[in-house]
Amino acid sequence: MEKERLLLLEEIKQSEKPVDFGEDVDGFEEETDEAEEIGNQLAVAQDLKRRLDEIDVALSKIHSGTYGKCEKCGKEIESEVLDMNPEATLCKACAVRAED
């Protein structure tokens, strides 16, 4: 998770760099495309930050000894769940109930 955290920090740094479209704007369509690109870039950065927050919470739990415990029922989160999603906060049963 530490490696992934560092990779995410680098991705966030890269995604927050302003996009240089130049000063030559030929029309409304080009401005629309640029605005859409900026919106997409912001959405990606927000998703990366959310993922970073999840990893930070998981790392904090590792340090406090509470990693792998379901936040709803307190039972151990199944290893296959943690293998697929190391920052999972719910066991299978609670995750299924949360989806309903």
Q: What is the pLDDT of residues 25-84, one digit of tens each?
A: 566 676 677 778 788 888 888 999 999 999 999 999 999 999 999 999 999 999 999 999
Instruction: Give pLDDT, residue 90.
Output: 97
Contact by Cβ (8 Å): 8, 55:
yes
Domain spans in the chain, listed from the N-terminal domain onward: 1-67, 68-100
pLDDT at 19: 64
Confidence of residue 15 (pLDDT cuts 50, 70, 90): confident
Predicted TM-score (pTM) of the model is: 0.69
3-state secondary structure of 78: coil
Compute CA distances 55 → 31, 46, 63, 66, 98, whole Å. 36, 14, 12, 14, 20
